[in-house]
Structure 1
């Protein structure tokens, strides 16, 4: 009876197969999976894998494992994002997807917009933020002009802070201590703390703060100057080498060896969350920042033909100085460098949400006051003043947005809104071009360049008599937008968005001498223009009868003292849009093809001196992108890719132009002009693989091929010939950038040991329009590692970490001043540290 004999076998096989299937199913269900990440930067909540935009996210948990507070470190976390500081300033320069800026000028908008709880910050100095109490960071790559408006041609970085929690008493403390592996072993550290309190059943309060302290990794100890014993340019005037300088001039060119470039920042946020009903919430935040950090030093990398080298202050590449962290900084009576870069911020923000059956109404209101005082030495030398300046800015920003986000049951949904933005500032610069005092001047008595007493004949008034210039700007912007989606069927959908922006700026600037003579005019400076007496140095402090002792970080001169006044107003309007086709072959895959536009607003150049060259128009870009997002292998591998082509038009580029001031003297101005186009082809790849419950890998690769396709840098009135753009590489466009990290968790009796290692590589990239010598961000590969012991209940953790383990030495920024000097900055050297975290009360 073969059939009967096979039945038990078949049953056994069926049972075995069923058991295997059940076991496999159980195993599949119990396997760890990557968590869904919800983003809010598109003005509606959505899974990052469902949004047809190239996005990188950093969650609160990932931030909790990191050891950085500086927002510029985000450049190590996302492909295509290049962040550094403008030389000599605490600011967030750089950019994304081939567009960026390292210009500190107060009128210059950045091409990457920063949002803090939906409040926009558009200037590089305002974007320099300490990261604390952050819930999530979302980095949107490519133009975001439709949803965000101006200054998002490269993308948007949106930071969401932690909200108060109703009904919970909890808190956290996070202490970090580290030490740089450089001369003197300077230290750094921070203390972060937060407290959450329930005030009523519907009201909660949260207070979060950070104190960030850093000695700085530079030191005031370089010994490379040959001044005054050997000043090459004096030989051109027939002055014998070794001719002394008048003893009244302090010729010290050495520093005191102290650390330079430290941080001293206290920042806090007090928050209230009120939820009286299930469909209404009010979230209020008060922001308080008091930054008393050092003035960031720079490194003298002037070329052989720069004036600074000819004056006896050669770039370090021509000396035996091999350590760029060994530099110099001045400390004179005019520019109070010991006071450092002081920033005071007070901000008030209110977000209201009212939910209905058909959608949510939102109101986002923000007001921010920011006062900056930035004393800076621009040459990396200790002589009493070669070029020193204090930049003082008082800025007030107000924004209001009303928004509706639909929540319909059908295939069609949208977000629409209207926004108002007002940004006003008063700025002045108090500065000395002291290097002009080291250029020989004919001696009235001898007629030569050596005085009767045997000293080099110099006009040293600029060493003690400083000058001013000022700029004010009032800005108003209105915008309306609409962005919707329609599901054609289960697999196909489309998105379409449109935004109209109206931006108006009123601009007032005073610069240069040439105002009418007064009782303080030095006869040497009195000239005749059209029959009238004009003072060629009317913008100097002495022309108000004042000395350096009277300077108090205010604009002491009346505006009538400036020989050149530029008072103007302009308006720019722009319509931006995007269109996207989406295809979802499965629940875990998304293909999209998008066409999007963006723009950087037009404006006025802070350093301009003539009306016809002050204003510049918007820079625009278009982006075509093919993207793929996927969660594979049972949501254990997240793989996202994007291929994109971006064209930038009416490029905003800064050029130096000669002009004749009101007093008839020859001067220079830096103006921004619109010229040419560039085209970028790029690929972004991001992957996260949960290899096991205890092992996770993350990787990202970015490739960019960015070239100018047409355009010239005009000669303007400076003579010479226009310069074709095609001969230069486009700034902020390193060809390759890739990152790799691994996290491995080992359970032990006390809790878990978490090992982390990461590597970040970035190719060389330009920072200067003219690709000057030693102005590049140097190629670098950074390796970091840490080991953390986490208590099993998650209440506390202790970490040991090392950053830049291989001690890479790499330039991150440069400020070349054509023909005068080149001033640079370097990334941090190797460092080691410990970190302790403690939480209480939270689930």
Structure 2
């Protein structure tokens, strides 16, 4: 891979690297809290020792020492036990224990979150409580927003890199549109990065594994004079992959990423601060989707003689095949950067916050469309495309003091997004050659009030009004047709909750919230006059009810939290068959009907002693389509299997939603007994379970059975956490499962042809993690 330099190779080979576990080596030295809510919460986590291994994994992950977990779910720093929302917090130590070094794998330790990888990052999908966005067009928002330090990412593929310099990850479940806007109708993931510290701190962490993954990251933070603080970090990760290309002998399905990030904080006076944060990412992935099933009559494009044995020479197609034969280098190459300027100033008792951000991202994608090494043009059908995104945002909010019985936040938000997508595919089948642009502009005003009427009783109410304008252009270079259009919409969302403290450590809450995902255009292959005349896809809306209990017992050594939720979505945006005014039909992203998702989430932690912690989370999910009468049939679906009518379609009313396992849980533990003076042992385990699911409704070729994964680690650490060395084994029992499945029967004469996207831990592997902290 082209990022690897000799210097990086030498540094990594020295193995002063460990998995991305910065908090693994944290000391108990207090950090100086920043006046910003996000950075203050990061500093509080460092001060309280929550980053240490053994700290809880799930929401309200208990107290690993004597502190409390601080989150910014309501845009102000609060004890997570007092927030009337379903919030999960994940620390770097838990990421390491679960073998998570890439955004794709976060779902391993956040049970309500599922991340489905794809052949390329832009086609990957994030869903919370069974709800996500399954679409490939530019400008189509996700139902689950991804933010970094409260700044939203315009292009979700921007998130699918490794996780450098992360202080913690906050996962907010359920609609969050009132405070976070139109791309959070099902929830959000907020990555909080490290903040400047009041004393010089140097951290180095990394990993080396038996299957050729090498990673190194470090950060330096401290003061630069009386008024300045800084943090500079860099991370490099390289993994060759776990799929063998028999055509050229290369290993694929891997990744390589370089991340650079820096923050400078200026505090000219006690009640004002200015933080400038800059970031840069450069990386690439290579694609390998092994075939795991073929029908007996499968022939490439139905061509006689082009059997699997001919077009995939040397590949043994079987259930857990990890080999391909591609004569084209399927891959992505991406680069991007940006930053934000955050200012805070006290206005009497109130606090004024301003966040200005800019981000730009470019991705080139290349795919072997026929997925074979067949000779001739038919075996060289490829697709080539690009994504370009650019985003500006501005948020200004005014907040009252945290210690008053009546607290409020009011603000305005502005955003401008622009996307470009040139795309080509051919030269034999599925021909495409087009160029599309998508732009959006939004302005919003929001407010939220928390009022403690009496000791223990708090009411919360909030609302948001936003106006959005979207516009597009689309040029079909095959037909020399050009289309353009625009639309605008004004919408409101709101949230209300009541929380009552039953005791000092037990409270209950009820929350009602609405969500909104903006209108859009389906700018994909096949866009034509009919789609242009149909206008934009209407906004998707959600209504959520949550009942929760937050409790701690035995001097807060035991934390047990339960949330019941029931959410309805209407005007669901999904792929369907649409009959247009001229009587013709097409397949497109549009509004298909209704969906309901409900269930129960449990999260808890138990600190059995100062050196033994156990924590876990469980989600039960019932997610069904309530109205989806005209859905696309899956490949090879027959009338007896429900594919009927003209044009052929299936009725998914009452069907379970795709990518929504009924049960999902994880359990982790950390035992750190004293060995000698100044030295402690480390024993860690992580157990993940996921029940069966379909990657597309009803398709038997896209069924993933239930599976479980166990990870263990053994090592030693310094009493003061200045260093830690852990040997680990991930997927101890070598349980094979799929990250995603793809039905490509259409490429093989409408015979069974199923491909798999293999996850990072498809096979058992071992490695070493080392963390240094001074």
Q: 1:265 aligns with which of 233, 257, 275?
A: 257
> Which residue of structure 1 aligns with residue 499 of structure 2?
582
For CA contacts below 8 A with separation 6 or more, give which structure has more relative contact order.
2
Task: Give the drift of 1:781.
Answer: 0.6
Cα distance in 2 for partners of 1:790, 1:192 equals: 19
After superposition, the Cα gap between the structure-2 partners of 1:131 and 1:313, relative to the gap in structure 1 and judged at 3 Å, is farther
2:146–2:152 Cα contact (<8 Å) kept = yes
Cα distance in 1 for partners of 2:626, 2:95 equals: 40
> Which residue of structure 2 aligns with residue 111 of structure 1?
143
After superposition, the Cα gap between the structure-2 partners of 1:715 and 1:736, relative to the gap in structure 1 and judged at 3 Å, is closer
Cα distance in 1 for partners of 2:284, 2:370 equals: 22
> Which residue of structure 2 aligns with residue 381 of structure 1?
372
Task: Give the drift of 1:630.
Answer: 0.8
> Which residue of structure 1 aligns with residue 284 of structure 2?
292
2:742–2:755 Cα contact (<8 Å) kept = yes
Cα distance in 2 for partners of 1:510, 1:301 equals: 38
Alignment partner of 1:499 is 2:464: yes
> Which residue of structure 2 aligns with residue 630 of structure 1?
551
Task: Give the drift of 1:39.
Answer: 0.2
1:814–1:824 Cα contact (<8 Å) kept = yes
> Which residue of structure 1 aligns with residue 11 of structure 2?
none
After superposition, the Cα gap between the structure-2 partners of 1:215 and 1:147, relative to the gap in structure 1 and judged at 3 Å, is same
Task: Give the drift of 1:657.
Answer: 6.5
Cα distance in 2 for partners of 1:208, 1:313 equals: 51
After superposition, the Cα gap between the structure-2 partners of 1:33 and 1:89, relative to the gap in structure 1 and judged at 3 Å, is closer
Task: Give the drift of 1:70.
Answer: 0.2
Count of residue correspondences: 680
For residues 769-810 of structure 1, the C-alpha deviation after alignment (integer angstroms, 9 at most, x for no partner) is x43232234422111111131122322111111111111211
Alignment partner of 1:280 is 2:258: no
> Which residue of structure 2 aligns with residue 173 of structure 1?
204
Paired residue secondary structure (2:107): helix
Q: 1:345 aligns with which of 316, 336, 339?
A: 336
After superposition, the Cα gap between the structure-2 partners of 1:90 and 1:648, relative to the gap in structure 1 and judged at 3 Å, is closer
Cα distance in 2 for partners of 1:667, 1:193 equals: 58
2:95–2:101 Cα contact (<8 Å) kept = no
Q: Compute the RMSD of aligned alpha carbons.
A: 2.8
Structure 2 portions without partners, runs of 5+: 1-62, 634-644, 748-752
Paired residue secondary structure (2:210): strand
Q: Normalised by the size of structure 2, how large is the TM-score?
A: 0.83
Alignment partner of 1:695 is 2:612: yes
> Which residue of structure 2 aligns with residue 711 of structure 1?
628
Q: 1:203 aligns with which of 222, 225, 228?
A: 228
> Which residue of structure 2 aligns with residue 215 of structure 1?
240
2:292–2:317 Cα contact (<8 Å) kept = no
Task: Give the drift of 1:757.
Answer: 0.7
1:89–1:296 Cα contact (<8 Å) kept = no
1:299–1:825 Cα contact (<8 Å) kept = no
Paired residue secondary structure (2:672): strand
Cα distance in 1 for partners of 2:96, 2:478 equals: 54
Q: 2:321 aligns with which of 319, 324, 334?
A: 324
Which aligned pairs between 1:508-657 and structure 2 lie closer than 5 A? 508-511=473-476, 513-514=478-479, 562=480, 564-607=481-524, 608-610=527-529, 611-613=532-534, 615-655=536-576
Alignment partner of 1:834 is 2:768: yes
> Which residue of structure 2 aligns with residue 739 of structure 1?
666
Alignment partner of 1:142 is 2:174: yes
Cα distance in 2 for partners of 1:307, 1:194 equals: 53
Cα distance in 1 for partners of 2:562, 2:470 equals: 40
Paired residue secondary structure (2:701): coil
Paired residue secondary structure (1:748): strand
Paired residue secondary structure (2:81): helix
> Which residue of structure 2 aligns with residue 419 of structure 1?
413
**Largest Rg, 1 or 2:** 1
1:266–1:291 Cα contact (<8 Å) kept = yes
Cα distance in 2 for partners of 1:366, 1:130 equals: 21
Task: Give the drift of 1:584.
Answer: 0.6
Cα distance in 2 for partners of 1:46, 1:272 equals: 24
For residues 689-738 of structure 1, the C-alpha deviation after alignment (integer angstroms, 9 at most, x for no partner) is 1111221111211001122222322689x942553221632112111111
Cα distance in 2 for partners of 1:704, 1:213 equals: 35
Paired residue secondary structure (2:504): coil
> Which residue of structure 2 aligns with residue 475 of structure 1?
440
Alignment partner of 1:757 is 2:689: no
1:601–1:617 Cα contact (<8 Å) kept = yes
Q: Normalised by the size of structure 1, how large is the TM-score?
A: 0.76
Cα distance in 2 for partners of 1:354, 1:296 equals: 51
For residues 342-400 of structure 1, the C-alpha deviation after alignment (integer angstroms, 9 at most, x for no partner) is 11111121111112442211011110110110111244322364542112112111111
Cα distance in 1 for partners of 2:585, 2:728 equals: 49
1:88–1:298 Cα contact (<8 Å) kept = no
For residues 392-430 of structure 1, the C-alpha deviation after alignment (integer angstroms, 9 at most, x for no partner) is 112111111001111176421111110011110111112
Cα distance in 2 for partners of 1:498, 1:658 equals: 37
Alignment partner of 1:363 is 2:354: yes
Cα distance in 1 for partners of 2:482, 2:500 equals: 57
1:301–1:824 Cα contact (<8 Å) kept = no
